């Protein structure tokens, strides 16, 4: 896995976290 895949994974977790705690 490259750093780009890790960045994308972290970004997805950030969006999920924001959506979960944002509501």
pLDDT value at residue 3? 93
pLDDT value at residue 19? 87
- Please give the model's pTM, rounded to 2 decimal places: 0.52
Collapsed DSSP state (helix, strand, coil) of residue 23: coil
pLDDT value at residue 16? 95
The two tokens of residue 16 are 């999920």
pLDDT value at residue 15? 96
Reported as a single tens digit per residue, the pLDDT across 1-23 is 689 999 999 999 999 999 888 76
């Amino acid at each position: 896995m490259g750093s780009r895949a890790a960045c994308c994974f972290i970004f997805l977790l950030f969006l999920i976290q924001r959506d979960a705690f944002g509501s």
